[in-house]
Amino acid sequence: MKTGLAVSDLSSDWMRPDVGVVGVEVLSTTRLGGVSSGCYEGLNLGDHVLDDPECVRENRARLAAQLPDKTTITWLTQVHGSRVIYAPADYALGVQADAVWTDTPGWACAIMTADCLPIVLADQDGRCVAAIHGGWRSLADQIIEKTIEALPVEPSSLVAWLGPAIGPSAFEVGGDVLAAFYLSEQDLSVHAIPGTPEKYFLDLNIVAGRQLLALGLQPENIAGGDRCTFLDAKRFYSYRRDKQTGRMATLVYFT
């Protein structure tokens, strides 16, 4: 097994956005800095994509080494649903859920993606944090609303960060997806594809941003949404682009 970069250098390309909350950190990995090979080349963190399990264990260990000591990462079995769990009480390794929140230090709320939209929430006073797996099905099933309803704070006290996901020039959908969001072809989040009837490009960042605003977040407290996984093959895994590929992780935790 190739060990690649030294452990101290592994996170140099990972995303660490400052959400402006003291004592809370956000980390979003790229595909760089791991030991997987072939179509999974890099830091594949998904144990369900037929990668070598030894490589996945090493990649996850490398991620864990970048977190505070004795931090538990909430590895979920994501099913494109809208179940929200609380860690630690509801958590067990591989539990089926697509969002997780905590108010307890020592737990890193984590979700994996390879085109779906990772959404991080944090209370501005540092009382709780959450991570959401924002695929279109989950977004249409109100996973953001269900997550915010589970949190013990008012929505107006939250900040949100939208991580790397398939962008508005690459996420091709049909009319069924527009209907799931009650969107018309003239909506600003929708762009018709010339020469391809009944096919559209959809901007998941706009969709999620609208939901966050409607639920009470302030516009100035929503950031991110500017990295396309599909277009950047060097840095990001993309299921739509490659079909068989790895997974990245987005985490939020107390320091």
pTM: 0.93
Q: Which is nearest to 33 in space by CA: 1, 69, 68, 63?
A: 63
Using the structure block, give the residue that is written with the tokens 């939901």: 211
**For 218-240, how does the pLDDT look when each residue is reduced to its tens digit (9 = 90+)?**
999 999 999 999 999 999 999 99
Q: Which is nearest to 136 in space by CA: 76, 189, 74?
A: 189
| CA pair distance 10, 35, nearest whole angstrom | 11
Residue 181: count other Cβ atoms within 10 Å of its Cβ: 18
Across the range 59-71, mean pLDDT stands at 96
**For 161-179, how does the pLDDT look when each residue is reduced to its tens digit (9 = 90+)?**
999 999 999 999 999 999 9
**For 167-217, how does the pLDDT look when each residue is reduced to its tens digit (9 = 90+)?**
999 999 999 999 999 999 999 999 999 888 899 999 999 999 999 999 999
| CA pair distance 211, 103, nearest whole angstrom | 23
- pLDDT for position 12: 73
The CB-side HSE value for 152 (13 A sphere, CA atoms) comes to 9
Lookup: tokens for 103 = 């108010």
pLDDT grade, residue 10 (50/70/90)? Answer: low
Q: Is 80 left (phi over 0), alpha (psi -120 to 50) or beta?
A: left
**End-to-end distance of the chain based on CA atoms, in angstroms?**
32
| Cβ pair 115, 247 in contact under 8 A | no
> Average pLDDT over the chain, rounded to whole?
95
pLDDT grade, residue 13 (50/70/90)? Answer: confident
**For 74-120, how does the pLDDT look when each residue is reduced to its tens digit (9 = 90+)?**
999 999 999 999 999 999 999 999 999 999 999 999 999 999 999 99
| CA pair distance 39, 28, nearest whole angstrom | 20
The full set of domains in the chain, from first to last, is 7-167+203-254 (3.60.140.10)
**For 136-156, how does the pLDDT look when each residue is reduced to its tens digit (9 = 90+)?**
999 999 999 999 999 999 999
| CA pair distance 255, 252, nearest whole angstrom | 10
